[in-house]
Amino acid sequence: MDVRPNPEEPSSRAIFSNIVNFSTNQFRLIAELRFEERMIESRAVTLEGGGTSSLAFIAQQNTNGVFSLQLDVEDDLAVDNRVDVVSLLPQPAKGLLYTSGNRFLEKALRAAGDLELSITDDISIDAADYDITFLDNIQPLTWPEKNVMVINTVHTNWFASWEPVDAPAIVDWKSAHPLLRFVSFDDVEIAEALAVRSPFWGESLVESGQSPLIIAGEQGGQRRLWIGFDTVRSTWPLRVSFPMFMANAVQWLNPALSRSDGLNVQTGKPVQVGFESEQESVSVTRPGGERESVDLVPGSRNIVYGNTLKRGLYHVGEEENGFSFAVNLLDSAESDTAPRATLSLGGGQQLSATLKSRADLEFWRWIAFGALAVLMFEWWYFHRRTV
């Protein structure tokens, strides 16, 4: 399930749900969408065995809350018949762009939406009052502590070393990442890039033959997006993918939207929870009402909570001042309870299903039983002869 704002109606939400993997011939079910347990819409769906159906719901949302999608059906795995999504209203972010002049970048960021952009070439201006900082070929006096996008600039704490590479060719990119949604790098040429090694906090999204070109990640509650080449000295700003990427980047770096993403996790995955002030410990209420206390590291405003094996809503803190996050199964492979035709093993090997056959039988019981019968007969014959 994915929660995204409707671009034509800022106060609405669209929820997309994939209903998958029923092993019988045909299923008829009811999908019910609720907001804060208030019914919004229900739909009837008919699925073939192993089939998939996508549903799109449009709903008005005027406050933060929880959307729930419930499937009224009896199947082999009931835990994936309900999904809860914590949905926060989008809030415009304040952004500061440090640049000596980049009209392509300025126009792309202004067109992204949900961004109040300020532009400067004065590196002495402090970015502490801004939600997102954009660094375009500029080394600031003080690196921002909030979410940041860096273009053709290197932070010594991010990378151990770097060197220039001429005309790197783009060989691969991860289109499944939210930053690369609807983005393609076909026919993009780059004059020069900075060759680095991916840091522990980052994921390489776009790669050349020598080095990653775009890296994104998070550390200490700060989201970081690094572009290792000067966009002006490339053909990328002339492609449609450039403004699309910048729009995705603004959404990904927006603290309000990134916090919403962090409040919806998969079962078994840890969730990072941040607080505005330092605390010694917090209480977490698990689905079903069980409460547990979690201690924070002294001086830290974040905890990583990993006891998320149970699906449902978790509440952090007290009822009045706390907040919730949702844990859902969201695993189509685990939801598919039908017998597999093949089983994937390590090393890329696969084991195919075979016909039923008799396994090796244990004959020792019958041999022992026969030996016991012979002994009993000999015992009977011996005593009968001696009487």
| pLDDT confidence of residue 259 | 75
The share of the chain scoring above pLDDT 70, in percent, equals 88
Write the DSSP symbol of residue 324.
E
Would you say residue 151 has pLDDT above 90?
A: yes
Would you say residue 18 has pLDDT above 60?
A: no
The share of the chain scoring above pLDDT 90, in percent, equals 46
Identify whether the C-beta of residue 33 lies closer than 8 Å to the C-beta of residue 45: no
Would you say residue 346 has pLDDT above 80?
A: no
Instruction: For the chain, give every domain's residue range.
Output: 2-88+263-334, 93-259
| pLDDT confidence of residue 380 | 87
In three-state secondary structure terms, 236 is helix
* pLDDT top residue among 296 and 308: 308
Q: Binning pLDDT at 50, 70 and 90, where does residue 274 land?
A: confident
- Average pLDDT of the residues of the chain: 85
Domain 93-259, classified CATH 3.40.50.300, yes or no: no
Sheet containing 65-72: which strands, arranged edge to edge? 38-48, 26-35, 65-72, 82-87
| pLDDT confidence of residue 353 | 66
Least confident interval from 152-166, 198-212, 317-331: 317-331
Q: What is the mean pLDDT of residues 238-243?
A: 95
Write the DSSP symbol of residue 339.
P
| pLDDT confidence of residue 386 | 61
Q: pTM score, two decimals?
A: 0.64
Would you say residue 3 has pLDDT above 50?
A: no
Q: What is the dihedral of CA 118, 122, 126, 128, to 10 degrees?
A: 30
| pLDDT confidence of residue 22 | 42
Q: Binning pLDDT at 50, 70 and 90, where does residue 24 land?
A: very low
Least confident interval from 2-6, 127-131, 170-174: 2-6
Would you say residue 118 has pLDDT above 80?
A: yes
Q: Binning pLDDT at 50, 70 and 90, where does residue 253 land?
A: very high
167: phi > 0 → left, psi -120 to 50 → alpha, else beta; which? left
Quickly count: other Cβ atoms within 10 Å of residue 143's Cβ: 17
| pLDDT confidence of residue 19 | 41
Helices (H), the chain: 103-110, 241-253, 255-262, 332-335, 364-386
Q: What is the mean pLDDT of residues 328-339?
A: 80
In angstroms, how far is the first alpha carbon of the chain from the final one? 87
Least confident interval from 152-156, 282-286, 296-300: 296-300
Q: What is the mean pLDDT of residues 47-72?
A: 83
Q: Binning pLDDT at 50, 70 and 90, where does residue 25 land?
A: low
| pLDDT confidence of residue 309 | 92
What are the residues whose beta carbons fall under 8 Å from the beta carbon of 42, sequence distance 6 or more?
30, 31, 32, 33
Axis-axis angle for helices 255-262, 241-253 (nearest 10): 70
| pLDDT confidence of residue 356 | 66
Least confident interval from 89-98, 212-221, 312-321, 359-368: 359-368
| pLDDT confidence of residue 15 | 44
Beta bridge partners of 234: 190
Identify whether the C-beta of residue 233 lies closer than 8 Å to the C-beta of residue 193: no
**248/254 Cα distance (integer angstroms):** 10
| pLDDT confidence of residue 8 | 40
